[in-house]
Structure 1
Amino acid sequence: MGKKLQPKLRFRGFTDAWEQRKLGDILSYEQPYEYIVSSDDYSPVARTPVLTAGKTLILGYTNEADGVKAATKDSPVIIFDDFTASSHIIDYSFKVKSSAMKILSLRDSENDLYCIYYALTRIIRPSASHERQWISKYARATVTVPSKDEQQVIGDFLRKLDRLIAAEKRKLDLWKKKKTALLRQIFEQKLRFKGYSDFWEQHKLGSLGNSYSGLSGKNKADFGHGLASYITYMNVFQNSIADIDGNGQIEIDSKQHAVQYGDALFTISSEKPEEVGMSSVWLGNQKNVYLNSFCFGYRQNGAFDALYLAYMLRSEAVRSQMRMLAQGISRFNISQHKVMDINVTIPSISEQQKIGSFCRGLDQLISAEMKKIDLLMLKKKALLQQMFV
């Protein structure tokens, strides 16, 4: 006799063997043509969501009353991107943006759609082909499923986990919005710490320090080895405070400018004008740390608290000036010398320290929330591996 098909992790009370089924035998598909929205003139006060099966999911809302796909909590459906195989389970009525998807539903009442959805997501793999993924691949794929009663228990459990993850993501989004609002008020001097009322001075950035260039005279063979390190473009672009561990390797070269604690780093170019001149401040004390050739550095003269500098340079007051300096058509660049002419505001050092510490605290709260979400996602991934065959 063959080995009994069952997962490593099961709920108490279930012992029957699982059976193999083709997804196409469990799920039927519907083409979305009659549900495609006529206009993408969306309104925030409209009632019907317009969906895509990609990561964005909800593109906007429409008041178009015809061609609305009905779905409810008791009768949900799966939307399946026919090119990427990205999918979502939907339990509310909707319209769609394009025909590049399938709408999947159960063929009969002998299965639980949520459990089947999780079984589907577990086997989805990225594909570089342009063929229609459902008919050519996933409808023919085999999954192993239990009885409907066990399916419902599995589906309910994983739905609760997904709701928990969604709640944490909403909390993260609220923290990010709160940070944006608070920083705007702080750097517009509408919100100040108790005991501070002195006027903030305004200066040209270049009057308070000097700029320097990134790596020069290097080729591809110079990277990936050596006892020195260089701060990458993405490290600068993504972080107000550079990630000390986010560096590449390179050989020690005394001819290069070494980055020091408190230096501000700026990206030089980007595909979008609003993304040029993104800044980051280095808080490391390591020796022989250089800057990539697509960025330039700025060494201040002591006028700034390093944390204050990090958040001030990402404030809307500074970013709006950076956007004005962007030059280009298909790719936008910014002049190192012109960045030195931007206006910056400077309170007293003690107020700077208060602001920098407060902003860093917000970032730490956001980072902790992101780590919590990452752990929940890892837990879900592990559970999917153990709860299905």
Structure 2
Amino acid sequence: MSKVPAGWELKSLGEVAELQRGFDLPAKDRVDGNIPIISSGGYSGFHNEPRATSPGIVTGRYGSIGDVYFIEEDFWPLNTSLWVKNFHGNEPKYLYYLLSSIDYKKFSDKTGVPGVNRNDLHAIKVFVPPYKEQTKIAQILSTWDKAIATTEKLIGNSQQQKKTLMQSLLTGKKRLPGFEGEWLSEELGSLGETYSGLTGKTKEDFGSGYPYISYMNVYKNTEINIDFSEKVNIGPKENQYRVSYGDIFFTTSSETPEEVGMSSVLLSHIEDTYLNSFCFGYRLFTFEKVLPEFCKFVFRGDEMRRKISKLAQGATRYNLSKKRLMLLRIVLPPLPEQQKIAAVLTAADNEIELLQKKLAFLKQEKAALMQQLLTGKRRVKIHTTEECMDA
């Protein structure tokens, strides 16, 4: 541990924030009310009476560890959690940030289920600044938290707006200015054909060779991220399908029917690249009836997702039949309208992406600042007026 900053003290965490195990509250004993129940995973329902008064700090004791919650109302901490019983005269919000800086996994029991012992946490040595400095540090970090919360809200609003746009534009319920006329219904099998992902591969084949598109790349993205590093060895005589611009990929199986057949479109020109074994590809015969840019959104739209989910077959794991998928019908506007719809939804995606980058930057900057402030490497001014985020 580094040198104690001037004016600060070195104490054990238990001297600063006394942790106590939460209280049992079986579902049968809960009574409807407005008192939040806090478990290791956060808010977990309501009850009619509290066991702890606000402000409060709760973290996971068993099951889920690492998250720390600041509670601004009376609450009931569940037995899977630890809560701060005694702040010992310290600023509660400062202690929230102090507890948030701890790597709880280092103290997790060596068992199958994550868990921490409060006595181990109490023994941790921490630097403790004077109360006024604690308050100032808490104010500074709270300002960053407000900026993060505002950005998260903007992302949520933008995502909801995009979802509303997709529901109206992809079904023809709302037409963009300048477009009219009927849309055509086409069977997927008449627009393209499917092909398989990698076959005949073992784990020894992976790690070097040619690039391939992974399952998670398809599952997580509406458009394939080509900045990938997954590699597979392909022999000179192997008959494996290469991916091509405009191909649409579908996940073959999932644990739930709602997640079967998640799609992603390749909108980049790449060479000698393959598809993982747990997905299959769909290649359009021509781009004169349907545009890949439009497919990026229509196959992830609510209506098409409902249709694909209904095709899922299985009990403990669900699978998607390529043949049955090809029997589905898709409603298509004329190409100029497809292009315009794709442009509008792409603009919405770009706005969300910019906000997500801003959010990541704010979280990164706050984490760096928090580390400096909580260790005294960066000191705050107590008696002068300053912008909190400029500390």
**Normalised-by-shorter TM-score class:** 0.7 to 0.9
Matched, 1:178 2:161: yes
CA–CA distance in 1 between the matches of 2:71 and 2:26?
A: 16
Change beyond 3 A, Cα 1:95–1:178: farther
Query: Map of 1:90-101 to 2, 5 A cutoff?
Result: 90-96=71-77, 98-101=78-81
Change beyond 3 A, Cα 1:206–1:128: farther
**Deviation per CA, 1:172-205, whole angstroms, max 9, x where unpaired?**
1111111111111112211110011211111111
**Deviation per CA, 1:184-234, whole angstroms, max 9, x where unpaired?**
1112211110011211111111110010000111111111111x2100000
CA–CA distance in 2 between the matches of 1:239 and 1:175?
A: 17
User: 2:56 maps to what in 1?
Assistant: 77
Match of residue 114, structure 1, among 81, 93, 103: 93
Q: Which runs of 5+ in 1 are unaligned?
A: 7-15
Query: Map of 1:1-389 to 2, 5 A cutoff?
Result: 4-6=3-5, 16-33=6-23, 38=28, 47-54=34-41, 57-60=42-45, 62=46, 64-67=47-50, 69-71=52-54, 76-83=55-62, 84-96=65-77, 98-109=78-89, 111-126=90-105, 127=108, 129-130=110-111, 133-226=116-209, 228-253=210-235, 255-301=239-285, 302=287, 303-389=289-375
Cα distance, 1:87 vs. partner? 1.4
Change beyond 3 A, Cα 1:101–1:350: same
Contact 2:82 2:118 survives alignment (8 Å): no
Percent identity of paired positions between Structure 1 and Structure 2: 32
CA–CA distance in 2 between the matches of 1:187 and 1:48?
A: 43
**Deviation per CA, 1:90-127, whole angstroms, max 9, x where unpaired?**
1123345x411122143432x21222221222122323
TM-score if structure 1 supplies the norm length? Answer: 0.88
Contact 1:215 1:291 survives alignment (8 Å): yes
Contact 2:183 2:333 survives alignment (8 Å): yes
Cα distance, 1:52 vs. partner? 2.9
SS state at 2:37 partner:
strand
RMSD: 2.2
Contact 2:19 2:118 survives alignment (8 Å): no
**Deviation per CA, 1:68-102, whole angstroms, max 9, x where unpaired?**
6431xxxx110111031421111123345x41112
Cα distance, 1:290 vs. partner? 0.7
Q: What is the identity, as a one-letter code, of the residue corresponding to 1:195? A: G
Q: What is the identity, as a one-letter code, of the residue corresponding to 2:38? A: L
**Deviation per CA, 1:123-144, whole angstroms, max 9, x where unpaired?**
2232363575242421111111
SS state at 2:169 partner:
helix
Contact 1:85 1:134 survives alignment (8 Å): no
Q: What is the identity, as a one-letter code, of the residue corresponding to 1:51? A: I
CA–CA distance in 1 between the matches of 2:82 and 2:109?
A: 19
Cα distance, 1:145 vs. partner? 1.3
